[in-house]
């Protein structure tokens, strides 16, 4: 029986992996009741440790006996850190994704605030740094090697007419302040007060389709207005975004702009700063903690008009939100794949609904879910069918690799086309979504293949470091001098990664200037801006890379795109693989012919007659999506049903499968299971990863409400089952899974 507590009860969301949404505490003895408000942080004791939690409710009594309630140790804020609206959003996310509220809140806060530090910064990193007249005369590339960091920042500032803030420069170089001060002492850069400057570029003329989007969205500025902007690559979607912001960002209004990758953030920031004379901050995981905190606080206080960020920026508190923009809305990077598995795109839509503001989902290759929402008139649909200016759509040609020489990854037509385009002073982009030197390292004598000991995967050979690496768990091994099985030295790399492709390309085109862009060459933060500057300066003939090159970049001089191998997406066990393949192909093809010269796309494939590939190349992405949606409806796969994926892993596969078998039996016994189907459990496609064996159970329902109704009753039982009988099993739930691997 419950006892009434003699004092106020603080309901505190604590970041621990337990199903309870909050835990009850007394206020600290030295804090008066009038000082306490929902949204404040408190330090609390929990299971022999101390945590920083957030007050999510204040009550006069508790269901717990008084002697079981502990007192909070300290109140950390004078004012609420999170507003009522922000807490509503976070509570919704906790319920929808069935994840602990305290952990959801911790995800939404900068790490310094989770550590209990003050919600303030000693020195704001938003002052603008510009290059001086003396700095413009310096050749950044000729600075001594010891001053390489200075050269990176000097070059970045020389390329900008408006200058950059410290947080923007941190995209090019980690912790740039000390280097900036060194440049300032030399008189090469100067620091200006943080204030908006006049735009240096005028708005571009819009075509009729672009004008329709801008006018319609602005007419619905005071209401929830979700719209899908389906614009071909190069159609001027960014210009549409900019002109919408120019009209909506008045009287202290704010905009949240999400991009899928950190590498896309710098170019977006530069474009927006050149056009919009408004305070702008960026938010992503690569920022220094102080810069991230400052941007977060500036957004919360309404001091920043534009917030540009990656996935995690969707949680940023905004004082006066006017519009949300999701660029490349189809991109899988918007889905968090570890711990709190949320979709930033879907959270943003719910947030726009909550705030009653427009949200723009833009893409040249919209996801099937968004296209279906448009067909069901949940989203308003806009099409930008033509490229901006005089640019025309690229033309496609399939090359049957079964008819080509096998000793080279470059078909004869691709070799000839590369030579012709380079001779004409144009750039070539080659795409292969596989980094490293070779995906397989084997013995020609006995057939032994280097395997990762902890994963069901081949080790990837990297020639530059002479190592074998696992791209799943990160394990690194030295290359054996002889075969571990037959002791011969007949060991060879098999297949092609971007590193090997670069080597063979240089032999094929000895005079060509080749720039390789993948996660190996861009590991250092300053590398990506340097490579992009080299490309835009015309100092590269061939751009060779992975998906990093395929997303959102504008390369006006690229007229030829060669796709080395996309066949894997045609035969994957993941039902989304064909959609991902089509999106990748269209996106990378969209880098060609974005200026006056027409673009050509050569697609090398061993399956030129595959119906999906033929549909995509001959009739375009829209025809492909209609065919794919037809397949999905016949199979009752998303967006025509709702999925959740229960994953389990253990030190042996039998234990993981047994846990899921018991979990399934428990769920099927519930009254709520009548409208839900269960598939599995089965071993995961990559069964062993990181030394643990993985299995999964797919839960499917026609209606979202039926799925969540079941999960709400099932998960508490699942937690108890795991504690009592399966402590060695780790499990997680993924709502709306984007990856079934």
Q: Which residues of 127-152 are buried (b: 16+ CB within 10 A; e: fewer)?
A: ebbbbbeebeebebeebeeebebbbb
Q: What is the pLDDT of residues 643-654, one digit of tens each?
A: 999 999 999 999
The residue-averaged pLDDT of 596-624 equals 91
Q: pLDDT-based confidence at 536, cuts 50/70/90?
A: confident
Question: For residue 716, what pLDDT band results from cuts at 50, 70 and 90?
Answer: confident
Q: Which long-range contacts (CB under 8 A, 24 or more apart) does 464-470 make?
A: 464/437, 464/499, 464/520, 468/441, 469/436
Mean pLDDT of 324-339: 95
CATH annotation of 9-114: 3.40.1440.60
Higher pLDDT, residue 559 or 570 = 559
Q: How far apart are CA 435 and CA 443, in angstroms?
A: 21
Burial of 21 (0-12, 13-18, 19+ CB in 10 A): middle
The CATH number that domain 208-384 falls under is 3.40.50.300
pLDDT at 477 over 60: yes
pLDDT digits (tens, 9 = 90+) for 30-75: 888 888 999 999 999 998 899 999 999 999 898 898 889 999 999 9
Q: Answer with the residue of higher pLDDT: 282 or 242.
A: 242
Distance CA 87, CA 347 (A): 13
Q: Are 97 and 351 in contact (CB under 8 A)?
A: no
Q: Is the pLDDT of residue 136 over 60?
A: yes
pLDDT digits 0-9 by tens, 607-618: 999 988 999 999
Confidence band, pLDDT 50/70/90 cuts, at residue 718: confident
Q: Is the pLDDT of residue 117 over 90?
A: yes
Residues of the chain with CATH 3.30.70.600: 642-735
Task: Quickly state the pLDDT bin for 731 (edges 50, 70, 90).
Answer: very high
Architecture of domain 395-435+497-632 in this structure: 3-Layer(aba) Sandwich (3.40)
Grouping H, G, I as helix, E, B as strand and the rest as coil, residue 419 is helix
Q: Which residue has the higher pLDDT, 210 or 149?
A: 210
> 196 pLDDT exceeds 60?
no
Q: What's this model's pTM, rounded to 2 decimal places?
A: 0.88
The per-residue DSSP string of 253-284 comes to -EEEEE-S-GGGHHHHHHHHHHH--S-EEEE-
Distance CA 381, CA 375 (A): 8
Q: Give pLDDT, residue 190.
A: 79
The pLDDT value recorded for residue 612 is 86
- Point out the least confidently predicted range of 43-52, 564-573, 622-631: 564-573
Q: What is the mean pLDDT of residues 116-133?
A: 73
For the chain, give every residue range classified as CATH 3.40.1440.60. 9-114
- Binned at pLDDT 50, 70 and 90, residue 223 comes out as very high
Higher per-residue pLDDT: 712 or 121: 712
Say yes or no to pLDDT of 188 above 70.
Answer: yes
Q: What percentage of the chain exceeds 90 in pLDDT?
A: 61
What secondary structure does DSSP assign to 497-558, as a single string? -HHHHHHHHHHHSTT--EEEESTTTT-STTHHHHHHHHHHTT--SEEEESGGGTSS---TTE
* 645 Cβ neighbours under 8 A, 6+ residues apart: 696, 697, 698, 699, 733, 734, 737, 740
Q: Which CATH code, of 3.30.2350.10, 3.40.1390.10, 1.10.357.10, 3.30.70.600, is assigned to 642-735? A: 3.30.70.600
Task: Specify the pLDDT at position 126.
Answer: 59
What are the two backbone dihedrals, phi and then psi, of residue 567, each rounded to the nearest 5 degrees? -65, -25
Average pLDDT over residues 519-529: 79
- Tell me the mean pLDDT in the region 458-467: 90
More confident residue, 136 or 416: 416
Q: What's the pLDDT score for residue 5?
A: 40
Q: Please indicate whether residue 58 or residue 131 has the higher confidence score (pLDDT).
A: 58
590: left (phi over 0), alpha (psi -120 to 50) or beta: alpha
Residue 228 has pLDDT above 70, yes or no: yes
Average model confidence (pLDDT) for the chain? 89
Residue 524's pLDDT is what? 75
Q: What is the pLDDT of residue 394?
A: 87
For residue 258, what pLDDT is reported?
97
Quick one: tokens of 697? 């159970």
pLDDT at 562: 96
pLDDT digit string (tens) for 443-462?
998 999 999 999 999 999 99
Band the pLDDT of 2: cuts 50, 70, 90: very low
Nearest to 394 by CA among 595, 605, 579, 606: 595
The pLDDT value recorded for residue 69 is 92
Q: SS3 for 597?
A: coil
Q: Determine the 3-state secondary structure of 169 from DSSP.
A: helix
Average pLDDT over residues 309-316: 96
As annotated, the residues of the chain forming the CATH 3.40.50.300 domain(s) are 208-384, 395-435+497-632
Question: Above 60 in pLDDT, residue 4?
Answer: no
Assess whether pLDDT exceeds 50 at residue 1: no
657 phi, psi to nearest 5 deg = -65, -40
pLDDT value for 93: 98
Top mean-pLDDT range of 193-197, 422-426, 434-438 = 422-426
pLDDT band at 269 (very low <50, low <70, confident <90, very high): confident
pLDDT at 200 over 70: no
Quick check: 520 pLDDT over 80? yes
Note the pLDDT tens digit of each residue in 665-674. 999 999 888 8
């Amino acid at each position: 029986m419950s006892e009434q507590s003699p004092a106020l009860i603080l309901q505190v969301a604590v970041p621990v992996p337990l199903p309870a949404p909050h835990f009850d505490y007394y206020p600290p003895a030295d804090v008066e009741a009038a000082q306490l408000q929902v949204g404040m942080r408190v330090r609390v004791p929990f299971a022999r440790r101390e945590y920083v939690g957030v007050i999510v409710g204040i009550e006069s009594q508790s269901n717990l006996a008084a002697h079981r309630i502990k007192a909070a140790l300290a109140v950390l804020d004078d004012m609420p850190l999170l507003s009522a609206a922000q807490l509503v959003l976070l509570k919704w996310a906790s319920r929808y994704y069935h994840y602990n509220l305290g952990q959801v809140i911790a995800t939404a806060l900068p790490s310094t605030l989770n550590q209990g530090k003050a919600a303030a910064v000693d020195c704001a990193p938003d002052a603008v740094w510009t290059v001086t007249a003396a700095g413009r005369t310096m050749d950044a590339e000729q600075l001594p090697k010891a001053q390489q960091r200075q050269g990176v920042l000097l070059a970045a500032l020389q390329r900008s007419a408006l200058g950059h803030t410290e947080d923007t420069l941190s995209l090019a170089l980690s912790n740039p302040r000390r280097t900036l001060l060194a440049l300032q002492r030399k008189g090469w850069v100067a620091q200006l007060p943080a204030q908006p400057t006049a735009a240096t570029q005028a708005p571009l003329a819009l075509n009729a389709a672009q004008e329709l989007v801008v006018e319609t969205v602005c007419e619905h500025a005071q209401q929830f207005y979700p719209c899908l902007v389906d614009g071909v690559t190069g159609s001027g979607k960014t210009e549409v975004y900019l002109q919408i912001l120019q009209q909506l960002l008045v009287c202290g209004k704010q905009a949240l702009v999400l991009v899928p990758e950190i590498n896309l953030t710098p170019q977006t920031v530069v474009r927006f700063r050149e056009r919009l004379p408004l305070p702008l901050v960026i938010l992503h995981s690569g920022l220094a903690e102080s810069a991230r905190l400052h941007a977060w606080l500036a957004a919360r206080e309404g001091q920043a008009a534009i917030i540009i960020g990656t996935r995690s920026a969707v949680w940023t508190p905004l004082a006066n939100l006017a519009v949300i923009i999701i660029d490349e809305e189809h991109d899988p990077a918007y889905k968090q794949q570890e711990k709190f598995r949320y979709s930033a795109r879907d959270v943003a839509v719910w947030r726009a609904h909550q705030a009653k503001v427009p949200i723009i989902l833009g893409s040249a290759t919209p996801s099937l879910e968004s296209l279906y929402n448009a067909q069901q008139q949940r989203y308003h649909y806009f099409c930008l069918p033509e490229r901006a200016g005089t640019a025309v759509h690229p033309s496609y040609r399939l090359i049957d690799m079964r008819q080509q020489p096998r000793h080279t990854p470059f078909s004869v037509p691709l070799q000839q086309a590369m030579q012709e385009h380079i001779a004409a002073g144009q750039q070539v982009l080659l795409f292969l979504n596989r980094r490293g030197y070779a995906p397989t390292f084997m013995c020609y004598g006995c057939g032994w293949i280097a395997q990762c000991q902890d994963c069901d995967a081949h080790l990837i050979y990297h020639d530059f470091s002479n190592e074998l690496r696992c791209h799943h768990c990160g394990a690194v091994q030295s290359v054996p001098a002889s075969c571990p099985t037959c002791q011969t030295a007949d060991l060879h790399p098999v297949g092609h990664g971007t590193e090997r492709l670069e080597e063979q390309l240089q032999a094929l085109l000895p005079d060509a200037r080749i720039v390789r862009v993948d996660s190996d060459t861009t590991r250092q933060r300053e590398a990506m801006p340097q490579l992009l500057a080299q490309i835009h300066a015309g100092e590269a003939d061939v751009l060779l890379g992975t998906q990093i090159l395929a997303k959102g970049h504008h390369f006006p001089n690229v007229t030829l795109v060669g796709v080395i191998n996309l066949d894997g997406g045609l035969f994957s066990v993941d039902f989304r693989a064909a959609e991902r393949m089509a999106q990748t192909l269209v996106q990378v093809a969209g880098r060609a012919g974005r200026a006056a010269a027409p673009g050509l796309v050569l697609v090398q494939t061993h399956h030129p007659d595959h119906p999906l590939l033929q549909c995509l190349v001959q009739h375009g992405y829209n025809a492909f999506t209609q065919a794919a949606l037809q397949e999905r409806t016949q199979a009752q796969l998303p967006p025509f049903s709702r999925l959740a994926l229960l994953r389990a892993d253990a030190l042996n596969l039998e234990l993981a499968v047994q846990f899921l078998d018991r979990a399934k039996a428990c769920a099927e016994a519930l009254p709520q299971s009548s409208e839900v189907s269960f598939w599995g459990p089965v071993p995961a496609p990559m069964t062993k990863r990181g030394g643990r064996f993985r299995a999964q159970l797919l839960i499917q329902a026609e209606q979202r409400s039926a799925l969540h109704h079941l999960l709400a009753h099932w998960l508490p039982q699942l937690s108890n089952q795991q504690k009592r009988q399966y402590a060695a099993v780790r499990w997680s739930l993924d709502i709306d899974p984007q990856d079934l691997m």
